[in-house]
Amino acid sequence: MPSGFNFSQPSFRLKSRLPFHLSVLDRYIASQLASPFLFGVAAFSSILVSVGALFDLIRKMTDAGLPLSIAFKVFFFQVPEFISLSFPMATLLSTLMVYSRLSTDSELIALRSAGISVYRLIAPAIVLSLFVSALTFGFNESIVPAAKYQASLTLDSALKQDKPTFQQNNIVYQQYRDAKQSDGSRTQALERIFYAKQFDGKQMRNLTVLDFSQDGVNQIVTANRATWNANSNAWDFFNGTIYVVAADGSYRNILKFEQQQIQLSRTPLDLASRQPDEGEMNIQQIQDYLKLVLQSGDEKLATKLRLRIQQKIAFPFICLVFGLTGATLGTRPRRGGKGTSFAISIVIIFVYYLLSFVCDSFGQLEILSPISGAWLPTIAGLLAGTFLLWRSGK
């Protein structure tokens, strides 16, 4: 008789002060899953950190003279990103290892002989997977973006390679207003188009503004440069010309100026001053950035940002997919120990990330919608895991 259970108990229920009852089966499997999960987090984090950060930092220390103290600081800030990536992998490894061991030791056979279904047996793994999914989402929203940003900032500052926090060329912004139609309905009407050829971090250069704010009288403003005046909450244009255009397309007036203050939105400056890495922002920050991008008319970047938002939501649920798949595969009789489980985990992880890479590429190319590109790997994995569970339960 397997030593893992005491079958003298008439029931797998245990009295508890909790508002729900935990069975002996749940407590036993949960305790078995904890250690392999922590081992998986440590193992996969170490591998990912070595490949994704450590080797690059060592190269920067030898080639670019990065100080050792700065390298340790950057390394510390980069670790949370790789820990979050290891959570789904550790879920897969722990469920596969534990259920494979229970199957090898014939404990699953004994439990199923007692009338416990395979669906009930993997319930603790599903609960663990959902918990890790929530943990992964919280980790990626609250810790990883800030840590990744600090790592980039520290590294660039140490190497004196400060990345410009602005878009250098071709800043385009379209401003709209609510307009009332003849039938009483309201629609969005184009009010202004703002274009600047270059931004050096302090001032815009070679600007053109097309103004359609007044019916029948449109203006064209050109200037060599412009700066944002925070005190007046307006733009100071220098060395430019204002063309007033009549409704029939003829020039009504031409005004040259050395300096002219014009009341325009500062959104173009916000758009030019912010070009961050999506990995350094949480979902809310990406959504705010997306609003600016939509105003600029850059649909390609907008599609990419929509894809990143969906990926940030979809990624934590891969913990559920991996937990379901690992537990189901583990219930099948198999020879081999931890080495076999680790090898199977690597294959499943490789297939998932290969599919994710393909879907991400298709999403950016607009072959797939942002929702499809982000969720397809997770949905495909969930369907595959459900099918395997159904086969095991027959």
| pLDDT value of residue 178 | 73
- Measured distance CA(200)–CA(285) in Å, rounded: 24
| pLDDT value of residue 245 | 81
Query: Is residue 236 situated within a structural domain?
Result: yes
150 lies in the same domain as 22 = yes
Query: Is residue 149 situated within a structural domain?
Result: yes
pLDDT for residue 98 is more than 80: yes
17 lies in the same domain as 153 = yes
Query: Is residue 19 situated within a structural domain?
Result: yes
Residue-wise pLDDT for 231-270, tens only, equals: 888 889 999 988 888 766 666 778 888 888 888 877 777 7
- Measured distance CA(314)–CA(382) in Å, rounded: 12
Q: Which domain holds residue 243?
A: 169-271
Task: Report CA-CA distances (Å) from 44 to 125, 162, 348, 374.
Answer: 19, 31, 14, 23
Pairing of strands 186-199, 169-180: antiparallel
Residue-wise pLDDT for 317-327, tens only, equals: 999 999 999 88
Out of 52-61, 187-196, 205-214, pick the least confident. Answer: 187-196
DSSP type of residue 190? E
Band (pLDDT 50/70/90 cuts) for residue 186 is: confident
| pLDDT value of residue 64 | 78
DSSP type of residue 188? E
221, 237, 271 - which closes a domain:
271
331 lies in the same domain as 254 = no
**Is 0.75 surpassed by the pTM of this model?**
no
Band (pLDDT 50/70/90 cuts) for residue 166 is: low
Q: Tell me how crowded residue 229 is: count the other CB atoms within 10 A of its CB.
A: 12
More confident residue, 7 or 119: 119
Closest CA to 101 of 344, 337, 345: 337
- Measured distance CA(333)–CA(105) in Å, rounded: 10
Q: Evaluate whether 292 touches 274 at the Cβ level (below 8 Å).
A: yes
pLDDT for residue 16 is more than 60: no
DSSP string, 216-268: TEEEEEEEEEEEEETTTTEEEEEEEEEEEE-TTS-EEEEEEEEEEEE---SHH
Query: What share of the chain has pLDDT > 90, as a percent?
Result: 28
Q: Evaluate whether 223 touches 207 at the Cβ level (below 8 Å).
A: yes
130 lies in the same domain as 195 = no
pLDDT for residue 169 is more than 70: yes
Out of 14-23, 189-198, 217-226, 322-331, pick the least confident. Answer: 14-23
| For residues 80-84, average pLDDT | 93
pLDDT for residue 170 is more than 50: yes
DSSP string, 109-177: HHHHHTT--HHHHTHHHHHHHHHHHHHHHHHHHHTHHHHHHHHHHHHHHHTT-PPPSS--EEEEEEEEE
| pLDDT value of residue 114 | 80
DSSP string, 308-354: HHHHHHHGGGHHHHHHHHHHHHHTS-----HHHHHHHHHHHHHHHHH
pLDDT for residue 392 is more than 90: no
156 lies in the same domain as 174 = no
324 lies in the same domain as 248 = no
Radius of gyration, alpha carbons of the chain: 29
3-state DSSP assignment of residue 302: helix
146 lies in the same domain as 183 = no
More confident residue, 165 or 85: 85
Residue-wise pLDDT for 49-58, tens only, equals: 888 888 888 8
183 lies in the same domain as 76 = no
231 lies in the same domain as 209 = yes
- Measured distance CA(74)–CA(53) in Å, rounded: 9
Band (pLDDT 50/70/90 cuts) for residue 1 is: very low
Instruction: Tell me which H or E stretch contains 294.
Output: helix 283-296
Residues 6+ apart with CB under 8 A from 296: 171, 172, 173, 174, 271
Query: Is residue 296 situated within a structural domain?
Result: no
- Supply angle C-alpha 97, 102, 104, rounded to 5: 90
More confident residue, 19 or 126: 126
| pLDDT value of residue 354 | 92
3-state DSSP assignment of residue 209: strand
Query: Is residue 152 situated within a structural domain?
Result: yes
| For residues 222-235, average pLDDT | 88
- Measured distance CA(48)–CA(52) in Å, rounded: 6
Return the structure tokens found at 167: 């878009």
Query: Is residue 287 situated within a structural domain?
Result: no
Count up the domains in the chain and report the number: 2
213 lies in the same domain as 126 = no
Instruction: Tell me which H or E stretch contains 359.
Output: helix 338-364
199 lies in the same domain as 337 = no
Residue-wise pLDDT for 114-163, tens only, equals: 888 888 888 899 999 999 999 999 999 999 998 998 888 888 777 765 45
126 lies in the same domain as 29 = yes
Residue-wise pLDDT for 381-391, tens only, equals: 999 888 888 88
